[in-house]
Chain A
Amino acid sequence: MSANAAGLSGVDTANRQRRRIAPPVIRGLLWAAIGFLVFNTLVSQVIDRQPYDPFVTRVSATVGWAAAVIGWLLGVGAWEVIVRPFFGHPVEWDIPNDWRRYFMFSTDHKVVGLQYIFTTTGSFLLAGLAAMMMRMELMNAKLWVFTNPGAYLTTVGIHGTVMMFSVGTVALVGGFANYFIPLMMGSNSSAYPRMSGLSHWLLPAGIATVFLSPLLGQWTTGWRAYAPLSGQDPSGIVFYYLGVFAMTTSSLLVAINLTATIIFNRAPGLTWNRLPMFGWGILAVSLLTIIWVPEIQMTFIISLLNLIVPFSLFEQTGSPLTYMESFWLFGHPEVYIIVVPAFALWQEIIPVMGQKTLFARQWGVLGLVFVMLFSGLVWAHHMFTNMRNSEMLPFSFFTEMISIPTGFSYLVVLGTLWGARLKFSTPTLFVLMSMFNFLIGGITGVLLADPVINLQTHDTFFVLSHFHYTVIGSMVFTWLAAAYYWLPKLSGRMYNETLGKLGAIWVFIAFNSAFGQMFFVGLRGMNRWVAVYPQYLQNMNFSISMFAFLLGLGFLFNFVHITWMWNKGKPVGQNPWNGKTLEWFGTPKPGIATFSPLPHVETGFYDYSENTPPTPSPPKRM
């Protein structure tokens, strides 16, 4: 039975449509604006008047923001789908089966997944634009794009924050996993569809908040918002804390929803032994999110209160180091939240492209799980400059130990590649590039885990390049691999193989040329968080900037190609890669049930050794 066969008379719908005064997103914006104005005014003009009577104060902005976000969520549909039913009214929320469904509250996991994919892509482009402005500034050893160093640093902060909390953390989880995990589990829905619908709409609210932060003033801390520095700036940092709170809450809800989906919505026969690798990856990431996101949220709330009450917990009279510890306790697991889904996708794509059984699957699972467990033990490698020598050893040791379970992920893919008749498609190419880039990122990571090297390179472009190798080099490259891999499923159309490969090679060369040089410019003394640097670094920075622009254009090229093919590509069958995971066997269209009846799983998904269901594949020549 399709989900929209639920008895709904035309008259009913027509009446409700007439009553709905504005499209939900517009209504959300309106309610957000009203919420902000009313509560901001109430606080700044009545409850908590300040000397000279400013209209917006730190406190009023915070309260007004909370009202605005609540107004926004209610306006896009939480009012009808969550609040009114909660108090006992019937749900009156009809979703048109066309493009409008992406601009309103939806409980359909496919719609939610696509909403996340659009929002993430949009924020990637905006934060990427910020990166282009930064690279433009760094082309020259003097200030010339920005008028003051604070403006440069604010841009760095916005870029880093949005990239981390709305791209890195979200692209593969909120986006692809929301869409594909229920499909891969053989289920027609995620576990808590209403919560899932809510989760997406927090994300644009958070992104907008961070981008609007300059309205409250500059902030120079970067994405880590270190106290007490954060207390010395004008007030832009207030919107950093609030925006990050919205974005991380979004991720937390996704994690809870997907964990329960994997545990409870598996189709009959889909045992733990058969769970797809992407399922394991998302499970590991979700657990990290469930533990560490609330940790950083509380830290940020305390920091925010530090500013607006004000307190001095992390200030001079308190303990600034405590802030750093609390930040990095979350901060390191965060990098695995970003990269573990990418590892899992390598193991998802390569067996299909090679039509070869996944090598040593259990070791792949163990790798993902142990990376997750170790990630909580290493945070202080970000603080080697702030500790006694004797404290460094354990953190150095555990950090280097993580390369062992990480190695499992590599070996599983390499073992699968061994002797496979690999289909050299665009997704394959992106996966191989991603593995190469992570190798560089990982090796430099091991170097950085060594205090001797770390103390020399701390806060230089060496570190910057190291982590961009992991976030762009691995995560973003795998994101593109997944986009090309699943495009036929998402759109029913195929991309153009030549253009796809061109796009891959383009970003690969541009990326390695730009960020490869950054290692060397870092070793030669280029610091992070500086808009102006010594003249002798100018030539190399100029060259880096050129390749960075090329990289930006390369990403744009890939996005345009994908969007184009989404609408105009050659129509293609249900399962062009001959994959065996369940997503290839359901209806991809939003608005109708994926599986009817539910599939029954009889073998593992990575078994290409014999002719096994669910895909009958032609016998293999050995």
Chain B
Amino acid sequence: MSSHNTYTKTSLRIGPLSERDLRKNRFGMSLYCISQAVPYFLLINIRFVIAGNFVPVGLNLWLGGIIPTVALLVGIIPLFTARAALQKDDIPRVRSHVMTAMLLGLIGLLSLLFPLWFHNFDALSPFGEIDLISLGVASFYTIIALIVAWGVYLRLGKGLIRKETGWGIEATIWVYAFNAIAWTALFFTLDLL
């Protein structure tokens, strides 16, 4: 409050996290996952209320289905290996694994967007709608996950993420894995069950 301190600098810690801060961040991530799981529950519920178990014959199980599911689920693995590489401070390797996850995520995204763009159901049937909305929701969260991974990739390149300051990688795992698992659950309940 003294007169020479007329500005408060907003600081960003990139120092190592204390054990407590680490737990706090993980807790925040779990709250993110809990709250963002709710829309998926709602989608599933609405689908069963409106269209029962009906699955249209023309549904393409590959595009907007199996391909993104596999791509996103497999994409989790290189993130974990990236975290392992970070423990050895092998930054180039961390980067290449994050890049692998991003590429898989991108494949998933394109495969979700393709049927969304060229949808072959009449949107004016309850099933067609829920399918399109689900694809849209999954694309949205995939884009979020990709942005998170991309930021981490760039920060890795600038040497800002090291063994002691590896929260960014873990945050990516949370967001990426949440999206992959939530989408898989949605796909299974809507199209396969």
Residues on A facing B (Cβ under 8 Å):
2-6, 8, 13, 81, 85-88, 90-91, 93-98, 101, 106-108, 191-192, 252, 256, 259-260, 263-264, 290-295, 297-299, 301-302, 305, 309-313, 317-319, 322, 326, 589, 591-592
Contact = CB atoms under 8 A, between A and B. Distances in A.
A108 B8 contact: yes
Contacts of B157: 88
A95 to B, nearest CB: 5
Contact of A95 (B7, B24, B32): B7
Interface of B: 1, 5-12, 20, 23-24, 27-28, 31-32, 34-36, 38-39, 41-43, 46, 49-50, 123-126, 129-130, 132-133, 136-137, 151, 154-155, 157-158, 160
Contact of A319 (B12, B24, B49, B154): B49
Contact of A88 (B35, B36, B43, B155): B155
B49 A81 contact: no
A313 B28 contact: no
A8 B133 contact: no
A259 B29 CA distance: 12
A322 B35 contact: no
A589 B1 contact: yes
Contact of A6 (B11, B24, B130, B136): B11
A312 B129 contact: yes
A61 to B, nearest CB: 18
Contacts of A292: 38
A209 B142 CA distance: 28
A87 B24 contact: no
A375 B29 CA distance: 25
A311 B7 CA distance: 52
A592 B46 CA distance: 49
Contact of B38 (A8, A295, A310, A592): A295
Nearest to B46: A322
A302 B46 contact: yes
Contacts of B32: 256
B119 to A, nearest CB: 10
9 smallest CB-CB distances across A and B, nearest first, come from A298-B39, A294-B38, A4-B8, A88-B158, A94-B7, A264-B24, A93-B10, A311-B129, A88-B155
Contacts of B154: 87-88
A444 B87 CA distance: 62
Nearest to A265: B24
B8 A291 contact: no
B10 A91 contact: yes
A88 B160 contact: yes
B95 to A, nearest CB: 13
Given A88-B157, A264-B24, A318-B129, 11 more contacts: A5-B5, A86-B155, A88-B151, A91-B10, A192-B28, A291-B35, A292-B38, A295-B41, A298-B38, A305-B136, A312-B126
Contacts of A263: 24, 27
A88 B56 CA distance: 47
A3 B7 CA distance: 10
Contact of B39 (A3, A192, A295, A322): A295
Contacts of A93: 9-10
Nearest to B161: A88
Given A87-B155, A88-B157, A311 B123 contact: yes
Contact of A592 (B1, B132, B137, B155): B1
Contacts of B133: 301-302, 305, 311
B8 A260 contact: no
B31 A260 contact: yes
B23 A264 contact: yes
B62 to A, nearest CB: 24
A290 B9 contact: no
Contact of B50 (A256, A295, A322): A322
B40 to A, nearest CB: 8
Contacts of B36: 294
A322 B24 contact: no
A96 B10 CA distance: 11
A620 B97 CA distance: 68
A312 to B, nearest CB: 5
Given A88-B154, A191-B24, A302-B133, A313 B8 contact: no
Contacts of A5: 5
A130 B9 CA distance: 41
Contacts of A87: 151, 154-155
Nearest to B8: A4
B124 A317 contact: yes
Contacts of A88: 151, 154-155, 157-158, 160
15 contacts: A87-B154, A88-B151, A88-B155, A88-B160, A94-B7, A94-B10, A95-B10, A97-B8, A256-B28, A264-B23, A290-B31, A309-B132, A313-B50, A318-B129, A322-B49
Nearest to B12: A91
Contacts of A85: 12
Contacts of A260: 24, 27-28, 31
Contacts of A311: 123-124, 129, 132-133
A144 to B, nearest CB: 43
Given A191-B28, A294-B36, A591-B1, A318 B50 contact: yes
Contact of A256 (B35, B38, B137, B151): B35
Contacts of B7: 4, 8, 13, 94-97
| Residue in A3, A87, A263 whose Cβ sees the most chain B Cβ within 10 Å | A87
A291 B20 contact: no
Most chain A beta-carbon neighbours within 10 Å: one of B9, B34, B35, B39: B9
Contact of B42 (A13, A298, A309, A319): A298
